[in-house]
Amino acid sequence: MWAEARAGLRGHYRQALTSAGSLAALAFGLHVGQAAGRTIWLALAAAVGALASLATYLRARAMADVALSRIGSAAQGYVQVRGRASVAPDELIRSPISGMPCIWFRYRVYSKDRDEWRQIDGGTSYTTFEIADGTGSCRVDPEDAEVVAPEQRVSHRDGDKVVEELLFGGCEIHVLGEFSTVGGATAVLSVSEDVGTLLASWKKDPAELRRRFDLDGNGEIDLNEWEVARRLATRTVEQQHREIRQLGELHLLRAPRDGRLFLISPLPPQRLRRRFLAWSALHFAVALVGLGLMIGLQG
C-alpha cells in the first residue's frame, strides 16, 4: 500500500497536493490567533512553496538539457525519445478496474471516512511495453517512472470512489530515462563473473551440489570435484553467452541508476516543459505570498 501511495504521488497529483498543502498552511497561518503561530505557519507555507517551485523547475530544466533523440540512433545513457506505443495483442494488458486494454495502468480506491476520502486500495502495472518511431523500437520499463497526464477516469462503486489512470496502445509516448542496449553480437559479457555467480547459486543447495559432484561418495566436495563443477559452470555460461549474442539487440528505457528524473507521458515535450514551468510559477507565487505576509505581520 505504501509503495502504491508513493507511486501515486509521482506526476501531476504531487504538484496539486503540494500546492494544496502550501495554501492550507497559508490559510491556517492567517487564522491562528497568536502572532508566533501565524509566523510559523506562514514560514512553512513559504518554505514548501519555494522547495516545490525549485523541484518542479529542475524537472523542466532536465527536459530542456537533453535533446530529443531518434530511437534508432539514440546514444547509450540519459536520453529523451518519443514513439508510438505498440497495439499488438501480446503487448497489451488489461486494467483490473475497467478491463480496458492498455500498456500501463494505475488505480486508487477511496472510501469515505466521515467527511474525507481515505485510500484503501491501489495498484500500478510494471509490465514493459514497446514504442517505435520509424527508425527503431525499444522497450520501456515503467517501474519507478513519474507518469504525467495519463487518461484519468473516476467512477463510484458501492460508495467507494475509484480513480483509474491509463496509457493506451497506439498513442504517442514521450520518455526521458536511461537508454541501454542489451544482447546482440556486441553484448558486454563476463565469463568469470557469471561463472562465479552460477557457482555461488549452486553452493546455496549443498545437498544438490553433493549429489551432482561428490564423485567418491564421501559426503564432501574435494578440490578435484570442485574443479569438475567449475568446468561445467564455465561450459554452461559460455553456452548462455553464445545464445545471448545470437539474439537481436534489445533497446531498453528504464529508471536511471543515478536517480535522475524518469518521466513517461503522452504529452509532447514542449507541453510537458510548459506544464512544469507553470507549476513552478504557481508554487513560487505561494512562497512569495507566504513570505510577504510573514514580513508584514512582523512589521
Q: Which residue has the higher pLDDT, 273 or 241?
A: 273
Query: Strand, helix or coil at 141?
Result: coil
* Residue 48 vs residues 162, 177, 280, 290: alpha-carbon distances, Å: 29, 27, 12, 10
Which pTM does this prediction carry?
Answer: 0.67
Can you give 189-213 as a three-state secondary structure string? Answer: CCHHHHHHHHHHHHHCCHHHHHHHH
Among 19-28, 56-65, 221-230, whose mean pLDDT is lowest? 19-28
Per-residue pLDDT tens over the stretch 205-231: 999 999 999 999 999 999 999 999 999
pLDDT of 2 reads 34
Residue 26 makes CB contacts below 8 A (sequence gap 6+) with 41, 42, 45, 286, 289, 290, 293
Domain boundaries, the chain: 2-183+249-298, 193-241
pLDDT of 299 reads 56
Rounded distance, CA 295 to CA 298, Å?
Answer: 5
- Find out whether 177 and 79 touch, Cβ atoms under 8 Å: yes
- Rounded mean pLDDT, 156-168: 94
Residue 185 grid cell: 553480437
Beta-strand runs (E) in 9-159: 68-69, 77-85, 93-94, 101-102, 104-113, 116-124, 129-132, 137-140, 146-147, 151-157
Please count the other Cβ atoms lying within 10 Å of the Cβ belonging to residue 170: 11
- Find out whether 182 and 252 touch, Cβ atoms under 8 Å: yes
